[in-house]
Amino acid sequence: MAPPSSGRERKVRGRKIRSDRSEKQGRAKKHLDNGADEAAGSARSRESILREPDAVAPDPFVRTDAIDALIDRVNGWLDADQPVHVIGPTGCGKTALALTAAANRGRPVVWIDGDEAVNTATLTGAHAGGERYVEDDRYVSGVHKHTEVVRERWVDNPLSVAASEGATLVYNEFSRSDPAAHNVLLSMFEEGVLERPAKRGGDRKLDVHPEFRAILTSNTAEYAGVHEPQDALLDRMVGVSVDYHDEETEREIVRAHVDVPEDVITTVVETTRRLRTELDVVIGTRVAITAATGLAVFAGDSEGEIDDNTIASVFTDVLAPKVASGGGHTATTALEEQVRNLLSEE
């Protein structure tokens, strides 16, 4: 049972999220297949790898002067034929920024998700079994010669498709992949040539389409599961650093994703920013969106008030996964106490 609130009560009117909330959030979470397909087994068509710009553009997406300036920087470097590495903490909007910049180019978009399972073949392609057929030669009437022919079938994977079609590559969280898989990017970025090591024959090397561009995103190096990219690769791209947005932008983002009263948005964003400063966990704008969603549900239809206890419980639940895996119930209890103490301070 939560202890009674020792702090001020925040008057926030309860209201359910609109019935179209799922539609709104569904648009925001456009489904993008992981480019790291199982190396060769399941042959994806080029059409399934290439995405139309409108299909990947985040919706809703909040535009402010600060965000537009970042997008202009990314697109400017792409116009200069430079791969762009968007770097920043989790939950700060790197992926949405990258997809918006990619969509702005008006070229097809190819998506790859970084993962430990990604290797050179999952990027460039591999042989996917053979095609078997029979040749039936009739030399003279009544005499047949049957020849069984087996021909290897090559399947291009996302990087090869992007390179050949002049697409904009969005490689999300690329530093989660083994750096050895990225050696093929060196010649792409430097010489405009993609080598497909598993492919045999004269077309092993692929000339990169002049309209090909790349946007790579990653968390900063201290995050778990992140590899340090090789210097040779970092030397062939420019970096655009992204941080958490200003308070008004965060309000706009929460407002675009969740239908709650303005006082709820203000409370959620103020609390998020305060906890971000005081707690030793990563608290992105995504936390504010989730907390606003929770408060909308727990408020119900009444015109009642949501006090500090409810707000503390909601934020504790949202942040608990960040501490529970390492410290279990003890860590979660300590987190809840920290949140309540911070909210009770005048």
**Read out DSSP for 279-297?**
SSS---HHHHHHHHHHHHH
Statement to judge: residues 215 and 286 lie in one domain: no
Rounded Cα–Cα distance for residues 309 and 10 (Å): 10
Report pLDDT for 140. 59
Statement to judge: residues 196 and 266 lie in one domain: no
**Cα separation values, 18 from 29, 164, 260, 263, 293, Å:** 18, 44, 9, 17, 11
Residue 17, domain member (yes or no): no
Sheet containing strand 238-241, edge to edge, reads 109-113, 168-172, 213-218, 84-87, 238-241
Residues 6+ apart with CB under 8 A from 245: 64, 66, 67, 92, 93, 253, 285
Rounded Cα–Cα distance for residues 104 and 252 (Å): 21
Statement to judge: residues 76 and 219 lie in one domain: yes
13-17, 63-67, 85-89, 330-334: range with lowest mean pLDDT: 13-17
Statement to judge: residues 189 and 312 lie in one domain: no
Report pLDDT for 210. 96
Report pLDDT for 146. 59
Q: Helix (H) and strand (E) counts for the chain?
A: 14, 9
Last residue of a domain, one of 241, 270, 287: 241
For range 154-163, the mean pLDDT: 91
Statement to judge: residues 200 and 264 lie in one domain: no
Q: Tokens 């009739």 map to which residue?
A: 138
Please determine, for residue 16, whether its predicted confidence score (pLDDT) is greater than 80: no
Residue 216, domain member (yes or no): yes
Q: What percent of the chain has pLDDT over 70?
A: 75
84 or 297, which is more confident: 84
C-beta of residue 174 within 8 angstroms of C-beta of residue 118 = no
Residue 4, domain member (yes or no): no
Statement to judge: residues 296 and 206 lie in one domain: no
Report field, pTM of the whole predicted structure over 0.85: no
30 or 324, which is more confident: 324
Statement to judge: residues 173 and 317 lie in one domain: no
Main-chain phi, psi angles of 329, to 5 degrees:
-65, -35
CATH of the domain at 45: 3.40.50.300
Rounded Cα–Cα distance for residues 86 and 101 (Å): 11
Please determine, for residue 248, whether its predicted confidence score (pLDDT) is greater than 60: yes
Strand partners, 87: 218, 241
For range 77-101, the mean pLDDT: 94
Statement to judge: residues 91 and 234 lie in one domain: yes
C-beta of residue 92 within 8 angstroms of C-beta of residue 286 = no
| Number of structural domains the chain divides into | 2
Report pLDDT for 38. 43
Q: What CA dihedral angle connects 173, 219, 257 and 293, to 10 degrees?
A: 110
Residue 148, domain member (yes or no): no
Residue 23, domain member (yes or no): no
Tens-place pLDDT, residues 283-304: 999 999 999 999 988 865 445 5
Statement to judge: residues 68 and 177 lie in one domain: yes
Containing H/E element for 137?
A: strand 126-140
Report pLDDT for 250. 94
User: In angstroms, how far is the first alpha carbon of the chain from the final one?
Assistant: 24
Please determine, for residue 128, whether its predicted confidence score (pLDDT) is greater than 60: yes
Statement to judge: residues 284 and 335 lie in one domain: yes
Residue 139, domain member (yes or no): no
Please determine, for residue 25, whether its predicted confidence score (pLDDT) is greater than 50: no
Neighbours of 270 (CB within 10 A): 15
In three-state secondary structure terms, 41 is coil
Statement to judge: residues 166 and 307 lie in one domain: no
How confident is the prediction for the chain on average, in pLDDT? 81
Please determine, for residue 42, whether its predicted confidence score (pLDDT) is greater than 70: no
Residue 15, domain member (yes or no): no
Q: What percent of the chain has pLDDT over 90?
A: 50
Last residue of a domain, one of 209, 241, 273: 241
For range 225-251, the mean pLDDT: 90
Tens-place pLDDT, residues 208-221: 999 999 999 998 75
> What domain range is 303 assigned to?
258-344
C-beta of residue 285 within 8 angstroms of C-beta of residue 67 = no
In three-state secondary structure terms, 211 is coil
Report pLDDT for 51. 94
* Residue 69, Cβ density class (10 Å: 0-12 exposed, 13-18 middle, ≥19 buried): exposed
Statement to judge: residues 187 and 266 lie in one domain: no
Last residue of a domain, one of 241, 267, 286: 241
Residue 159, domain member (yes or no): yes
